[in-house]
Amino acid sequence: MIKKIFVILTMIGLIMMLSSLVLNFEFVEQLNDLSADYVTGSIEDLKSQNVVTSVIVTYRGLDTLGEVTVLFLATAGIGFLLGKRKGKKRVASELLQTSSSFLVALIILLGVYIFSHGHLTPGGGFQGGVVIANAFLLLILSDASIKFNHTILQLVESLSGAFYVIVGIIGLVLTIGFLNAKIIPLGEFGRLISAGAIPIIYSLIGLKVGSELTNIIDTMRGE
């Protein structure tokens, strides 16, 4: 009884806290100064078509580095806690086996497209990496006895992480700024090779996230 009263009180409190958001809501007709600066700066200064990407990779690059670090720590923790594995095989249906052998390559291609075109179309390193990890998940589901080479996974992960930081430090050495995309020529607006270091950084993040999440899935499955 007292539990229910507490739940109802909490609900009423939440409603009171959030109702001001709804009641005072008004449509924003104009961007504020900071957002307007990001939008024009992304197009004119960085020559990147996707404003979200240029904010994530360059203007808020340090936050992204922190995010990648959090993901790395989570992977390390899961690998440390769930290291052991007992093998027990389960045969997948023929439908799943046939379709996955056809689909895995296409899904990996889609993931690579998403992170290499992060500065042109929606998406980027995190999304592309997760799509690649989902392809490996399909591979695991279709063939339970499959084994991944963990040395290669860890090598890809550590090398891309290290290069990401090195790209950032090159910006410091050239006195442009940490993780600034302008360390190499910007190129033509709207082309695949443009926007300076943004495609490089996002490809590195994509490889890192993909290998990390594949590692997590492979560790978690231990049936």
Partner 1 sequence: MISVIIVVILGIIMMVAGVVALHLKNLLAAIITAGAISLLASVIYLILGSPDVAMTEASIGSGLTTIIFLYALNKVKKEDKND
* Phi-psi sector, 68: left (phi>0), alpha (psi -120 to 50), beta: alpha
Under the binding rule (CB under 8 A), the answer on residue 210 touching partner 1 is no
Residues 6+ apart with CB under 8 A from 204: 125, 160, 161, 163, 164, 167
**Could you say which residues in the range 8-47 bind partner 1, by CB under 8 A?**
none
> Nearer to partner 1 by C-beta: 52 or 156?
52
Within 93-193, residue ranges assigned H as helices are 94-116, 125-142, 150-173
DSSP string, 138-164: HHHHHBTT----HHHHHHHHHHHHHHH
Quickly tell me which residue has 């078509």 as its tokens.
Answer: 49
Q: How far apart are CA 28 and CA 154, in angstroms?
A: 46
Binding test (CB under 8 A) with partner 1, winner from 57, 68, 108, 114: 114
Under the binding rule (CB under 8 A), the answer on residue 169 touching partner 1 is no
Q: Nearest distance from residue 182's CB to partner 1, in Å? A: 22
* Phi-psi sector, 196: left (phi>0), alpha (psi -120 to 50), beta: left
> Nearer to partner 1 by C-beta: 164 or 202?
202
Under the binding rule (CB under 8 A), the answer on residue 154 touching partner 1 is no
Q: And the tokens for 49?
A: 């078509």
> Nearer to partner 1 by C-beta: 124 or 171?
124
Nearest to 164 by CA among 132, 130, 129: 129
Binding test (CB under 8 A) with partner 1, winner from 59, 115, 126, 202: 126
The residues that bridge with 91 in the sheet, in sequence order, are: 143
> Nearer to partner 1 by C-beta: 90 or 147?
90
Under the binding rule (CB under 8 A), the answer on residue 188 touching partner 1 is no
Q: Nearest distance from residue 94's CB to partner 1, in Å? A: 21
Binding mask 65-104 for partner 1 (x = CB under 8 A): ----------------------------------------
Binding test (CB under 8 A) with partner 1, winner from 131, 179, 183, 197: 131
Q: Nearest distance from residue 176's CB to partner 1, in Å? A: 26
Q: Which spans of this chain sit near partner 1 (rule: CB under 8 A)? A: 50, 52-53, 114, 122-124, 126-127, 130-131, 133-134, 137, 213, 216-217, 220-221, 223
